[in-house]
Amino acid sequence: MNQQALDSLIAMLIPKTAHYFVPLIWGKPIHPLIDLIYPGETTQLRPGTGKTGVRMKPEYVVIHDTGMTNPEDNAKGLSRYIHAQAASPTGRVASWHFSIDQSECYNHVPTIERAWHAGDGSHAFGTTYYNESYKQECIGGGNLTGIGIESCINPGNDYALTVLRMARLTAQLLNEYQLGLDRIKQHNDFSGKNCPNVIRATTGLWESFLEATKVEKALVDMGGITNVEWKISPEGIIFRNGVVKEVVEDTPVHLELTLTMNEKHLSYHYDTLVLGMNGERRIEGTIKNLYASLPQVITKNCFLPLFDPKTKVQMSWNSSHPDLFSQEGLYTHPKQKTIIALTVQLEYNETTKQQIFELEVQ
């Protein structure tokens, strides 16, 4: 790829309208820490004998997430975990090539040797089969030709940033083995398992990962990049990890990307519009605020809002027992504790919803 083609690709990196995620490329090389497991340990976690694995010609980069949610399950913790499994006579038989989080990356199996991570057994590259466990048609070659990357989802780890760093690692591997972007696969493609679960469940994250990987690969192919810097204005709407904050009103954001390439500084400017909430999301936000502000037990007059100034949602109220607690929020002491239904009608333009709160009047 020449400089003109790279400029054209980078110029299209940030969409004109933004929501959920934007691919703010990491841009810096990932240098994994080598911490290998070997076939000849107490429990064999990968094919081979002694310290010699079974060689492969990489054809895929296979994306996983760990499914491990303890705070210590970062890349370093995952490295400890895989070694503990290898050293235990009852260790879990599974292996993968890389563990990555927001700041570190560990390499457990050489990338030219097989690991057991894809759940497709010994099905060959280029074949398909039906996975009975997950009732899904799958492709083969994950275990035999796939480089497995485990992304850490543990609390305290910035997962969106982890995904951007994983895009860079994936690009490096595609470049090293001369593979195209079509060779990026999910664990799900090989077995039907819902993995990488977090990426699959998060709207826009897989697409953002693929877009970031495409640009990262172009940068790796070109070579010479020594630094990447993002400037974002105003702050607090789009974050460095690519997460787009939900805003009430449409909000313009300006981004500047500076690449340092062969001691030259290349700048790219983007203007994007972060889309505001639609009517449904505005009403959901107002309901959330009402749950936080309405008392569960009524013992005095309460303020019942008719308008949410943040979301611009209009409200009207109705009480099942207006003699005890009226639609204006006026309280009357009951003879005994009484459960009432307080109904609010919420409206924003053409979008409406009714929500019922069950409250106790004492």
Taking only the tens place, the pLDDT of each residue in 132-158 is 999 999 999 999 999 999 999 999 999
pLDDT value at 82 more than 80: yes
- Angle 197-66-35 from CA coordinates, rounded to 5°: 150
Rounded Cα distance, 88 and 72, in Å: 20
Rounded Cα distance, 186 and 57, in Å: 19
What's the one-letter identity of residue 44? Q
pLDDT band at residue 264 under the 50/70/90 scheme:
confident
Residue ranges of domains in the chain: 23-222, 279-361
> What confidence score (pLDDT) does residue 174 get?
98
* Sign of the CA dihedral with 25 first, then 30, 35, and 39 last: positive
* Domain spanning 23-222: CATH superfamily: Peptidoglycan recognition protein-like (3.40.80.10)
pTM score: 0.84
pLDDT value at 1 more than 80: no
Mean pLDDT of all residues in the chain?
A: 95
Rounded Cα distance, 321 and 360, in Å: 11
Cβ count within 10 A of residue 22: 24
pLDDT band at residue 192 under the 50/70/90 scheme:
very high
- Helical spans, DSSP H, in the chain: 3-11, 75-87, 142-145, 159-176, 187-191, 197-201, 205-222, 279-293
**Structure tokens, 135:** 């009732």
> What confidence score (pLDDT) does residue 42 get?
97
- CB contact set of 23 (below 8 Å; sequence gap of 6+): 13, 14, 164, 167, 208, 209, 211, 212, 215, 242
Query: Could you report the per-residue pLDDT of 239-255, keeping only the tens digit for each?
Result: 999 999 989 899 999 99
Query: Could you report the per-residue pLDDT of 92-140, keeping only the tens digit for each?
Result: 999 999 999 999 999 999 999 999 999 999 999 999 999 999 999 999 9
Rounded Cα distance, 189 and 208, in Å: 19
- Residue 101: Cβ-neighbour burial (10 angstroms; 0-12, 13-18, 19+): buried
* Sign of the CA dihedral with 37 first, then 43, 46, and 50 last: positive
pLDDT value at 2 more than 90: no
DSSP code at position 118: S
pLDDT value at 173 more than 90: yes
**Structure tokens, 159:** 């997962």
pLDDT value at 263 more than 90: no
Query: Could you report the per-residue pLDDT of 23-68, keeping only the tens digit for each?
Result: 999 999 999 999 999 999 999 999 999 999 999 999 999 999 999 9
> If you average pLDDT over residues 328-341, what whole number do you get?
94
